[in-house]
Amino acid sequence: MADNLFTISGLKLSLPDMTRKPVFGAAPQIEILKGIDFQVPRNAVTGIVGESGSGKSTLGRAMVRLLEPTEGTIVFDGLDLTHLGENELRPHRRNLQMIFQDPMSSLNPRRTIASIIAAPLRQYGLTDNIDGRVKEALDRVGLPQSFAKRYRHEISGGQRQRVGIARALALSPSFVLADEIVSGLDVSTQAQILTLLERLCRELGLTIAFISHDLSVVRRLCEQVIVMHNGTIIEKGSTKAVFDNPQQPYTRSLIDAIPLPEPDPLWLAPDAS
Amino acid sequence: MTDCLAITNLSATLPDGQRLLRSVNVNVAPGEVRALVGESGAGKSMLSKAVLGVLPVSVKIVEGDIWLQGNDLGRLTAAKRRQAVAASIALIPQDPLTALNPSRRIGPQMTDRLVKILGWDQTRADERVRTLLDEVHIRDGERVLRAYPHELSGGMRQRVLIAAAFAAEPKLIIADEPTTALDVTVQKQILRLIAEMQRLHGTAILFVTHDLGVVAKISQNVTILYGGMVVEEGAVDQLFANPQHPYTRALLAATPRYTDPEASLLPVDQSVLSDLAKAVETADRDWMSSHGG
């Protein structure tokens, strides 16, 4: 279908289990993704939710081809990425950008903010008017121009995450992977970053895969959602449908476990299950 | 009735005179669950460290008292203070993996405190720990006692630490973000367990967290901190239904709820934050002038 940016079918991925590696010889393979099928529509935010160990980050990393799948196919914008080598991938990488969870460790401490945002531009040879492009990128994420000369330790956590977003959007990519990008932030900062993302999606028509364990955030931001558990997709659909009427008991239990900021003495009462 | 814990007018400073805690008052009644809420840098961990007597060396308490079970901790010698704290306070830490020694089995780690600090004999301590593992719904207690920390799941490790915290029947438990590192489904089980153990033992809990959802479910009373100052406190029902301070209202408005996705998510208003910064400044100025600084 033309309106899907990603089509992923039968995706399996195994990694070596280093905890069971013999001293000599190869580590046994452990299957992290066990057959994943889903599509990412254009100009929309797709949520990928699940608990730790469900494989949501591995799936994200396979999509941007930081990992190579064992089986199945990943078709991105009509192009089969599944087994492309690093040199073949390079021209496409500018369209597959990432925003990371921890903006502290994902920003180079020895470079200025301007130089960090300019790095992807330089990589792809967009060196004309580079200062102008950096200015524009700072503007877009609501950071003052004076930040261009600062270093990562001179700005707050929320501002760092804005830099991460500015860098990811510098090349106007057709796809952005956002892996737990608000989970390290305070609620007040988180609200700012979510509001910013919502505005950017509206203005730029971004296509985002938003990996998160926080279902309230996903309900807020994403048009559609996939729920992962143990390397498989348990449930997928429009966010509204999945939340209002979950079909699977696992999805139900995930939603029920969210503590809403409303006092409720019964919430902690032992239930029948 | 004497409060289990009474922190009165507590101020702590860095060597350069900057205050980290600004005349904080927090009381915890016997058997009460009080949440201590704040964003990063609010001073919530600093406050619990002050109570436990494990502040970083550079941080000095310059004013105020900490009363534990009617004893003024500041008047005790260091050794007596450690004894008083060990006898009536236990800690449930945030990260159960780093809180446990990776090279020792769970059993001895749980009985250490009872035997080495409180002077129980080993048999009695072993028995006590078995009873508690039962109470925290660990079925194969014998296996867990012989296991090393890495052999247990995150939820299981947190259960072990909850059992260890209740082992010596403390009067007060400081729970420092005990569910922050856990998945939501495990978080719910652990919160349920803490509530159940709290009812069973009647222990007071000072529950440190940044998650207003968790606060609403676990606590009876709430103290909200910002910049080392108490911003608002009250009963949980009232505070959530009718928050008085603009900062509390802003925090609630900034929290997304899956039940109400269309509600506009309001980032904390800059005017609220600048008012708070001014309040901090005024408090510091008044404090400096009254302390001859």
Q: Is A98 helix (H, G, I), strand (E, B) or coil?
A: strand
- Exposed (0-12), middle (13-18) or buried (19+): which is B69, by Cβ within 10 Å? middle
B163 vs A: CB within 8 A: no
DSSP-derived letter for residue B269 is P
Residues 6+ positions from B135 with CB-CB distance below 8 Å: B163, B166, B197, B200
Q: From the CA of B187, how many Å to the nearest CA of chain A?
A: 8
Task: Name every chain B residue with its beta carbon within 8 A of the beta carbon of A254.
Answer: 184-185
Look up the pTM and report it.
Answer: 0.89
Task: Name every chain A residue with its beta carbon within 8 A of the beta carbon of B188.
Answer: 256-257, 259
Strand B89-92 and strand B172-176: the pairing is parallel
DSSP letters spanning A102-161: -TTTTS-TTS-HHHHHHHHHHHTT--TTHHHHHHHHHHHTT--GGGGG--GGGS-HHHHH
Among the partner residues B237, B258, B268, nearest to A258 by beta-carbon distance? B258
pLDDT tens column, B153-207: 888 999 999 999 999 899 999 999 999 888 899 999 999 999 999 999 999 999 9
Task: Give the number of A-B residue pairs with CB atoms closer than 8 Å.
Answer: 107
Q: B230, B223 in Cβ contact below 8 A? A: yes
Angle among Cα B213, B214, B219 to the nearest 5 degrees reads: 115
Q: B219, A180 in Cβ contact below 8 A? A: no
B261 vs A: CB within 8 A: yes
pLDDT tens column, B13-69: 999 988 999 999 999 999 999 999 998 889 998 999 999 999 999 999 999 999 999
The predicted pLDDT at position A2 comes to 53
Give the residue on B whose Cα is nearest the Cα of A263. B216
Give me the torsion for CA of A69, A46, B266, B258, rounded to 10°.
-100
Q: From the CA of A76, how many Å to the nearest CA of chain B?
A: 30
Long-range contacts of B82-87 (CB under 8 A, 24+ apart): B82/B53, B85/B51, B85/B52, B85/B53, B86/B113, B86/B117, B86/B118, B87/B118, B87/B168, B87/B170
Q: A95, A132 in Cβ contact below 8 A? A: no
Identify the band that residue B288 occupies on the pLDDT scale cut at 50, 70 and 90. confident
What single-letter amino acid sits at B150?
Answer: H
Q: Is the pLDDT of residue B292 over 70?
A: no
C-alpha dist (Å) from residue B277 to A264, B195, B226, B231, B267: 33, 36, 9, 12, 17
Write down the domain spans for chain B. Answer: 5-290
Q: B5, B66 in Cβ contact below 8 A? A: yes
Q: B178, B99 in Cβ contact below 8 A? A: no
The predicted pLDDT at position A273 comes to 46
Best residue in A160, A185, A262, A266 for a mutation probing chain B (most B CBs within 10 Å): A262
Q: A11, A38 in Cβ contact below 8 A? A: no
What single-letter amino acid sits at B173?
Answer: I
Q: From the CA of B250, how many Å to the nearest CA of chain A?
A: 8
Q: A108, A102 in Cβ contact below 8 A? A: no
Identify the band that residue B272 occupies on the pLDDT scale cut at 50, 70 and 90. confident
Candidates B230, B234, B233, B113; CA nearest to B163 is B113
Q: Is A38 helix (H, G, I), strand (E, B) or coil?
A: strand
Q: Is the pLDDT of residue B293 over 70?
A: no
Residues 6+ positions from A219 with CB-CB distance below 8 Å: A239, A243, B256, B258, B261
Q: A219, A73 in Cβ contact below 8 A? A: no
Instruction: Report the C-alpha gap between B261 and B278 in whole angstroms.
Output: 33
The predicted pLDDT at position A98 comes to 96
Instruction: Report the C-alpha gap between B109 and B130 in whole angstroms.
Output: 13
What single-letter amino acid sits at A59?
Answer: L
Token pair of B51, please?
Answer: 């109570």
Candidates A245, A215, A252; CA nearest to A49 is A215
Token pair of A57, please?
Answer: 């980050």
The predicted pLDDT at position B1 comes to 65
A259·B214 Cβ contact <8 A: yes
Give me the torsion for CA of A196, A199, A200, A205, rounded to 10°.
150
The predicted pLDDT at position B290 comes to 83
Q: Is the pLDDT of residue B108 over 90?
A: yes
B135 vs A: CB within 8 A: no
The structural architecture, per CATH, of the domain B5-290 is: 3-Layer(aba) Sandwich (3.40)
C-alpha dist (Å) from residue B60 to A272, B57, B63, B290: 50, 7, 9, 18
Task: Name every chain B residue with its beta carbon within 8 A of the beta carbon of A188.
Answer: 39, 250-251, 254, 267-268
A191·B252 Cβ contact <8 A: no
pLDDT below 50 — which residues of chain A? 1, 272-273
Give the residue on B whose Cα is nearest the Cα of A194. B265
